[in-house]
Structure 1
Amino acid sequence: MTTQRGSGVSRRSALRTVGVAALGGVAGCVGDGAAPVSLLSAGSLARTFEDHIGPAFEDATGHRLDGEYYGSNAVMRRVEDDLAVPDVITSADATLLRDRLYGTVTDWDVAFASNSLGVAYNPETAVGQRLADGTPWYTVAAESEPGVIAISDPDLDPLGYRAVMAFELAAAEHDLSNFRERLLQRVYREPAEPQLLAGVESGGRAAAIAYKNMAIEHDLPFVAFPPAYNFGRLAFADHYATVEYTTDDGYTATGRPVIYNATVHQDASNPAAGRQLVQFLIDNPTLLTDTGLTVGPQLPRPHGTPPEAITV
């Protein structure tokens, strides 16, 4: 079990990592009046897009990024119910997007980054002090007061249902009796994923099950889960698949590695710029890794048949 301190990445340093020619000479070809790109994205990427990718993309192309951020299952529901028709859609669960949106709003996507789970915490709280002292997270969590540790709502967000799955896998890994059930009786379920760590930052909550990049973006200490239940290792895919969670709308998610993917809505109002944004994610892995995401040797990779404008 390792503890590490998040370190924020400034807009200026992020921009240094992106060449103006990153999109093959697109920069300089569009003026200040270029139409914005609308984005409906996994909430765990909110600060990544708003503070880093968005400014760098605008600097390179002239297109401003207009983003909305929810749990990925909530993103899919908004698209399915025609509540939003964004240019670009991203998900923190690649299979979720394919299961819910293929055949209706898209037939392709590009997987571009991965992530891993752990506990982000406030070191000034009693729970945080125990974690900082090296007490196993599962001991601290099992002995915590109700409501002081948060998870994202598992019915709205893959981070939430992965937290529930992690509790189940951790119980088997550490021989913990009724661990999943005990934790689900104690944790607070945050319905708005982008707000998951706000309460931890303020001290209103002591800790939250979060992705590594979220802890880094919020400059919070982070106890990394081991590979057996951090959902960050492709080599553990079969092990992760031994657990599942069914959301309140009937979608059954099987445990799988955290893979982010992106696609362009078939009815996008600005599809060309949407494809440029997807290509920007492909072409700038350093910008992603600087914010705490992982881009391994198997990423990026296409699924389905991306348009010719997308080169992976």
Structure 2
Amino acid sequence: MLSAGSLATLFENTIGPAFDDAHEYGYRGEFHGSNAVMRMVLDEQKQPDVIVSADAELLRTRLPEDIAPWDVVFGSNALVIAYGPDTAVGERLEGEEPWFEVLSEADAEIARSDPDLDPLGYRALQLFDLAEQYYDRDGLAPALTENLVIDPQEAHILARVEAQERAAAIVYKNMAVDHGLPYVELPEKLDFSNPEHADYYAQATYTTEDGTTVEGAPVLYNATVPSTAPNPEAGRAFLKFLLSNPEMLTENGLVVTDAFPRPHGPVPEEIVP
């Protein structure tokens, strides 16, 4: 399985071992930013049995239909600000000061992932653009961006917050839950969690280094078994197992509503429970 890095803990500690116990197939996961995942598949660097993306449209637009003619959306997430409680930034956030004032004034490093490798990175920048409009504060976006530093490995972005090498990080809620870190929740119009605000999110855009312009969009995780899968039967079994155990997802901080799973394209009948 080749997956978005934000789901590393979920798959490595929960889904993967449970699948191993329930099936004859072995589980092995590899994690990168979703954009990097798509590049690896397109460049034939990797040939996974399952592909998981943190941006549903990214998978659909980057992978041609002959590789990924279908996918299934299985959960959603929200952006939060995870922080080290013993840092000056953490103390101010716990004092309930407005998050945007704390981050724009901070004399500390705020981590984000690489926007050219994964959606979490460009969603952090889109968050700041939307916040400038939402709070009606001219110049807020560049002020927030000034203290940002890039941690290229999405799956490891919170390790430096835990080690107090970074004061805070813009991450998905499940990542903060996985690491047991405190976090600040954002308004729904800024956290990319609610599909009802899709038009509002879409006002913010980011163009990657390869020229792809990405509109802000709700955080929707989707997965597919590509036509290039070496073992498609195992891939379909894994995806069916994932979709059949929503409680494993919610226990790890993801949101799974009655709207999921949401098939897109000619999904094999045996996959969707």
TM over 0.5: yes
For 2:250, give the aligned amino acid.
T
Distance (Å, rounded) in 2 between the aligned partners of 1:303 and 1:67: 24
How many correspondences in the alignment?
Answer: 273
TM-score scaled to structure 1, two decimals? 0.85
Partner residue of 2:202?
241
Q: Check the 8 A contact 2:49/2:231 in 1, yes or no.
A: yes
For 1:184, give the aligned amino acid.
T
Q: Which of 38, 41, 48 does residue 10 from structure 2 map onto?
A: 48
Distance (Å, rounded) in 2 between the aligned partners of 1:267 and 1:87: 8
Q: Deviations over 1:71-128 (max 9, x none)?
A: 1011111111111010000000000000011324110000000000010011011111
Please tell me whether Structure 1 or Structure 2 has the larger radius of gyration of its CA atoms: 1
Q: Which of 236, 249, 255 does residue 275 from structure 1 map onto?
A: 236
Q: Check the 8 A contact 1:102/1:108 in 2, yes or no.
A: no
Q: Which runs of 5+ in 1 are unaligned?
A: 1-38
Partner residue of 1:232?
193
Q: Deviations over 1:166-210 (max 9, x none)?
A: 101111111222121222222001111011101001100010001
Q: Does 1:217 align with 2:178?
A: yes
Equivalent positions of 1:1-312 (< 5 A) are 39-145=1-107, 148-312=109-273
Distance (Å, rounded) in 2 between the aligned partners of 1:72 and 1:46: 12
Match of 1:78, SS state, is helix
Q: Check the 8 A contact 2:3/2:29 in 1, yes or no.
A: yes
Percent of pairs with identical residues:
52
Residue 144 of structure 1, CA deviation: 1.2
Distance (Å, rounded) in 1 between the aligned partners of 2:192 and 2:16: 27
Q: Check the 8 A contact 2:71/2:265 in 1, yes or no.
A: yes
Q: Which runs of 5+ in 2 are unaligned?
A: none
Residue 242 of structure 1, CA deviation: 1.2
Residue 282 of structure 1, CA deviation: 1.2
Moved more, 96-105 or 116-125: 96-105
Q: Check the 8 A contact 2:41/2:47 in 1, yes or no.
A: yes
For 2:92, give the aligned amino acid.
R
Q: Check the 8 A contact 1:72/1:93 in 2, yes or no.
A: yes
For 1:131, give the aligned amino acid.
L
Residue 41 of structure 1, CA deviation: 0.2
Q: Check the 8 A contact 1:109/1:303 in 2, yes or no.
A: yes
Distance (Å, rounded) in 1 between the aligned partners of 2:82 and 2:210: 29
Q: Check the 8 A contact 2:79/2:173 in 1, yes or no.
A: yes
Match of 1:66, SS state, is coil
TM-score scaled to structure 2, two decimals? 0.97
